[in-house]
Amino acid sequence: GAVVSQHPSRVICKSGTSVKIECRSLDFQATTMFWYRQFPKQSLMLMATSNEGSKATYEQGVEKDKFLINHASLTLSTLTVASAHPEDSSFYICSAGDRPYEQYFGPGTRLTVT
């Protein structure tokens, strides 16, 4: 299957700093990527759909000024958590697919804000 990578796998930052997470499709091109957040013992919650060359589409309740998404190329989408606070601590996962209806997930990024 297709391979999606994320970097970094873990990040610890101080409250008020911004954190950038990268999502790459390694062996295919993805015009669309998805960003999810997962809190402990909970399921994945879709945050936004990242579209190459255009603005991301955010789910209801997700602040677009706080979670900045840039999909600058067909293999890279970035999520920047602006001015992170402890409540933003979570597991962030991206997904992409090279075929309709098949999504491949990255390994996730564990963000801890102190």
Residues that bind another protein (CB under 8 A): 1, 4, 6, 32, 34, 42-46, 49, 91, 93, 95, 97, 100-108, 110
Q: Quick one: 67 or 108, whose CB is closer to another protein?
A: 108
Residues in the chain: 114
| DSSP category for residue 83 | T
Q: Quick one: 8 or 16, whose CB is closer to another protein?
A: 8
From the CB of 101, what's the least distance to another protein, in Å? Answer: 6
Identify whether the C-beta of residue 36 lies closer than 8 Å to the C-beta of residue 91: no
Identify whether the C-beta of residue 50 lies closer than 8 Å to the C-beta of residue 75: no
